[in-house]
Amino acid sequence: MNDALSRLLRIGVVASMAVVIAGVTLTFFHHPQYVRSTTALRELTDAATIYPHRLAGVIAQIRTGRGQGIVMIGLLMLIATPVARVAFSIVAFAIERDRLYVAITCVVLALLLVSFAIGAAG
């Protein structure tokens, strides 16, 4: 269980960072003005901007080939890595027939999923 868990975490981090780097690079290719213009930075780092915050919005960005959407997918993969670790632990505890810890782990997973719902609700 330990080795598989360790591998899962490492693959999650490496894969998501690779996607993030690819997305950042692509954005600069798509927006050559980002290399010269100083006004573009404002809209990229403004606090008033509502950044893509629904999976559907992120996917729509990727369909139109926007690098920012790819960056976001990479960041979401990173957020999903510990969540996957928890989901994996449920299976591992179930194999050990450890009912108590299957229950505890399910509650932790539920809390993680609830956090997305609370943020989406405002």
Which residues here bind another protein, judged by CB under 8 A? 1-3, 5-7, 9-10, 12-13, 16-17, 20-21, 23-24, 27-28, 31, 34-38, 40-41, 44-47, 49-54, 68, 71-72, 74-76, 78-83, 85-86, 89, 100-101, 104-105, 107-108, 111-112, 114-120, 122
Label residues 102-121 b or e (16+ Cβ within 10 Å = b): beebeeeeeeeeeeeeeeee
- CB of residue 9 vs another protein: minimum separation in angstroms? 4
Separation CA 65–CA 106 (nearest Å): 37
Cβ proximity of 70 and 62 under 8 Å: yes
Nearest CA to 87 out of 67, 113, 106, 72 is that of 106
Indicate the residue among 95 and 115 with the shorter CB distance to another protein.
115
- CB of residue 67 vs another protein: minimum separation in angstroms? 9
By residue count, the chain amounts to: 122
- CB of residue 97 vs another protein: minimum separation in angstroms? 13
